[in-house]
Amino acid sequence: MMNFTVLIADDEAMPRTVLQKYIPWEELSVTSVYLATDGEEALEQARRVRPQIIISDIKMPHLSGLEMAAAVREFLPECQFVFLSGYSDKEYLKGAIRLKAANYVEKPLNLEEITTALREITTQLLCQAKPTAEELFFQGGHFPDKPLNTSVFGDEETVLDQLDQQIRHNKKEEALFALKSLYERTSRCQGTAPEQLRRLYCRILFLLLHAAESRNVRSIAAQADRLLYAVSSQETLAGLQNILMQTATEYFASQDPSCPDIASQVESYIESHYHDCTLTVQNIASDLGFTNTYLCSAYKKSCGKTVNQRLTEIRLLHAKKLLATTSCKLYEVANAVGYGDGKYFVKLFTREMGLSPREYQKRHAYEE
């Protein structure tokens, strides 16, 4: 989006202050407003800041507004001038016409009149503006004469909130549709600076990377640095979209509901590894491809108990079976179900079952 710089030149403080404070500059795409107290200072400022628009009093000391404008036109031929004058003098008006001034406004100042004049100028400049080589290439090389429009995409926070919720709740179809819609909308807003869109796509990528890290999607988390660099340096909007769609598709494939749910995966893993004395919840999470925090939270939400509680239940179930069907010694039973400390096993079994392993073995000896 093209932004403008304005220079206000007037030897009276009041007009300078009023114009600087009360013109709706942001609405006019004006990002910088500079002040000069006479024609000579205005000429120096113009050389330094190179404004697109100069609002100037016609009659000023040292160098009149018309003389200053004529000098500025030598190095800024496209600069637009709005002249202010408290003198209804035809000679001044004729001078302004010769300089092809955009407008001529008589004092006392009418802010509405000046705002209207400025809006006409900025609208005309925007319509005449052509995209830079970078902007044209970024948008895919279309519309070589001028952008399709000067619209700027300004719905970033809504898009980010929406995608954050969709990724958090694993809504694949909704998220992919939102990404496609984002591309269509941003491609129509050709006034949006490429850097602004790169930042937006980086923020969306962060959402996917954070989710991938939380759920230990290693294929994506391991590529974090490469993906962030690719997005931040991407030269086309289509390239940004391609990176994001590929990453999102891979992420949601890893969360495919057709795969066994977390509870089933945990149950199956514990059944295969309960006899390992070094087994921890962290081991389970790592081997199943999740972070410890995510696995514990998801499992408890699904089953109403912790992974450690379920691990204890399964170990004691197998311990009961061994006590009832074999003549194994207690330390052998303990080791067989993943407890290297026999005393701890006896204490745990007694607490959970209401009787000691020896008592349980006597009551249920050799049950089939």
Q: Does the pLDDT of residue 289 top 90, yes or no? A: no
41 pLDDT higher than 70: yes
Say what percent of the chain tops pLDDT 70: 87
Helix or strand holding residue 304 (H, E): none
Could you give the CA distance from residue 182 to residue 180 in angstroms, rounded to a whole number?
5
- Closest among 135, 152, 181, 134 to 204, alpha carbons compared: 181
Which letter, b or e, does each residue of 226-247 get, where b requires 16 or more Cβ atoms within 10 Å of its Cβ?
ebeebbeebeebebbbebbeeb
The confidence score (pLDDT) of residue 368 equals 46
Q: Which of 72-81, 116-125, 252-261, 349-358 comes out lowest in average pLDDT?
A: 252-261
Neighbours of 201 (CB within 10 A): 23
**Contact between residue 249 and residue 167 where contact means Cβ atoms under 8 Å apart:** no
Mean pLDDT along residues 199-213: 93
Is residue 51 reached through a cis peptide bond, with omega within 30 degrees of 0 on the bond before it? no
Q: Is the pLDDT of residue 63 over 70?
A: yes
Q: Categorize the per-residue pLDDT at 177 as very low, low, confident or very high, splitting at 50, 70 and 90.
A: very high
Q: pLDDT: is 257 or 233 the higher one? A: 233
Angle at 179 between CA 226 and CA 136, to 5 degrees: 75
pLDDT at 290 over 80: no
Q: Poorest-confidence range of 29-43, 120-134, 296-310, 343-357?
A: 120-134
Q: What are 140-149's pLDDT values in tens digits?
A: 755 555 555 6
Overall pTM surpassing 0.75 (yes/no):
no
**306-310 contacts, C-beta under 8 A, 24 or more apart:** 307/266, 307/281, 308/281, 310/266, 310/267, 310/270
Residue-averaged pLDDT of the chain: 85
pLDDT 10s digits, 292-314: 777 888 788 778 899 999 999 99
CA dist., res. 336 & res. 354, Å (int):
21
Report long-range pairs for 150-153 (Cβ below 8 Å, ≥24 apart).
150/1, 150/2, 150/126, 150/190, 150/191, 151/188, 151/189, 151/190, 151/191, 151/192, 152/1, 152/189, 152/191, 152/192, 152/196, 153/185, 153/186, 153/189, 153/192, 153/196, 153/197, 153/200
What H or E segment, with its residue span, contains residue 50? none
CA distances from 8 to 54, 78, 86, 102 (A): 6, 17, 16, 15
